[in-house]
Structure 1
Amino acid sequence: MHPPRDIAWHEGSWLNQPERARTDGTDLLVTARGRSDFWRTTSYGFVRDDGHALLTGFPVGSATEVTFVADFAALYDQAGLLIRVDPQTWIKAGVEMSDGLPHLGAVVTRGVSDWSLAPVPEWHGREVTVRASRSGDAVTVRARCEDSPWRMVRLAPLPPAAPAAAGPFCASPERDGLQVRFTRFAQGPADMTLHLAD
């Protein structure tokens, strides 16, 4: 895996401006608007497209990484990496509070959303990195906590001709006042293989 280059926060463009966003040293502190989310139809019957994401281009052959502190309290507090083509085609992956625990998961949306989760209680309050690698017709999503090994999260389709953007996201479906500390935003070449040695 090639080391990515850091992207300055000002290089991204906001999809849905958050309540507040400010730098704190090299970090970005983002306060989500209350009742914000990304979701499309499945099970709940509603469409939400008002979560916050700071996006830059995500071409085929590239990988994007986002690092943040997974310090959440309320149901569905969430942050991570969003990949977006249009309102009906997107992927979000990261950490989300569910059933009182932080969970590592992903939502893949192609017209309607699906959702997968795995509990990671040991990640609470620690730095988490989510990495999306775009190659051919697919995106490979991985995550890790601090310096632990990469964990496979999702392999999802993304048409190679689709113009996509990617970057840090957060949302707060159930409350006001969620603040997320993002510590890194980076991009580099796509991973050469689906299975990584470390």
Structure 2
Amino acid sequence: MEQQHELDWNDATWLNPPLTTAVDGTDLLVTTREHTDFWRTTSYGFVHDDGHALLTTLPAGTAAEVTFLARFDTLYDQAGLMVRVDEHTWIKAGVEMTDGLPHLGAVVTRNQSDWSLTPVPDWDNRLVTIRASRAGDAITIRARTEETPWRMVRLAPLPPGATATAGPFCCSPQRAGLQVRFTRFALGPADKALHEDPTG
């Protein structure tokens, strides 16, 4: 991954600024506002587009990575990486608290949201990296901790000609005050193959 370029936090723009932000060395500390989320319609019947996302351009043929640390202790606390075209077309992937455990998952939205997830109880309060690789007509989402290899999370369509942005996101649908430490935000070339290890 030597071709990756780490971004300064000022190189991206907030969609819905959080309650507070602070720079601690090279880390960005974020505190969420009350009842923030990204979701469209499915099952719940509501539309929320007020979560926090720090976004920069994600051209075709590139990949974005975000690394973060958080303690998730309230239902639907979540943090990770967002890829966004507009309010109707976006992907969020990361760790979310549900059913009493942290889960690794993704929400893919094309007018309506879906949701896929798997429990990762040992990922709470661990450094987690989410990678979104844009190639052809697709986004490939992968994730890992410092101690674990990359795992495939999702393959989702994204129109090749779409203007997209990407970057760290966090939400707290049931409260205010989720604190997330983002330690890294980087851009680089897209993965060469669907089943490639991005570190290779």
Task: With the length of structure 2 as denominator, give the TM-score of the two structures.
Answer: 0.97
Q: Percent identity?
A: 69
Separation of aligned partners in 2, 1:71 and 1:129 = 15
Asked whether 1:54 is paired with 2:54, we answer yes
CA RMSD of aligned residues (A): 1.0
Query: Are 1:31 and 1:180, in contact at CA under 8 Å, matched by a contact in 2?
Result: yes
5+ long unaligned stretches in structure 1: none
Counterpart residue number, 1:154? 154
Counterpart residue number, 2:167? 167
Separation of aligned partners in 2, 1:85 and 1:147 = 32
Query: Are 2:56 and 2:165, in contact at CA under 8 Å, matched by a contact in 1?
Result: yes
Instruction: Report the residue type matching 1:170 in the other structure.
Output: C
Q: Post-superposition shift, 1:2? A: 5.3
Q: Post-superposition shift, 1:25? A: 0.9
5+ long unaligned stretches in structure 2: none
Q: Post-superposition shift, 1:71? A: 1.5
Query: Are 2:70 and 2:179, in contact at CA under 8 Å, matched by a contact in 1?
Result: no
Asked whether 1:74 is paired with 2:70, we answer no
Counterpart residue number, 2:31? 31
Counterpart residue number, 1:63? 63
Query: Are 1:40 and 1:111, in contact at CA under 8 Å, matched by a contact in 2?
Result: yes
Separation of aligned partners in 1, 2:176 and 2:156 = 31
Task: List aligned pairs for 1:14-29, cutoff 5 A.
Answer: 14-29=14-29
**1:29-78 CA deviation, whole Å, 9 max, x = no partner?**
00110100000000000000000000000010000000001321100000
Instruction: Report the residue type matching 2:48 in the other structure.
Output: R
Q: Would you identify which runs of 4 or more consecutive aligned residues in structure 1 move more than 2 Å? A: none
Separation of aligned partners in 2, 1:147 and 1:184 = 17
Task: With the length of structure 1 as denominator, give the TM-score of the two structures.
Answer: 0.98
Asked whether 1:106 is paired with 2:115, we answer no
Separation of aligned partners in 2, 1:106 and 1:2 = 27
Q: Post-superposition shift, 1:3? A: 4.2
Q: Post-superposition shift, 1:147? A: 3.7
**1:77-96 CA deviation, whole Å, 9 max, x = no partner?**
00000000000000000000
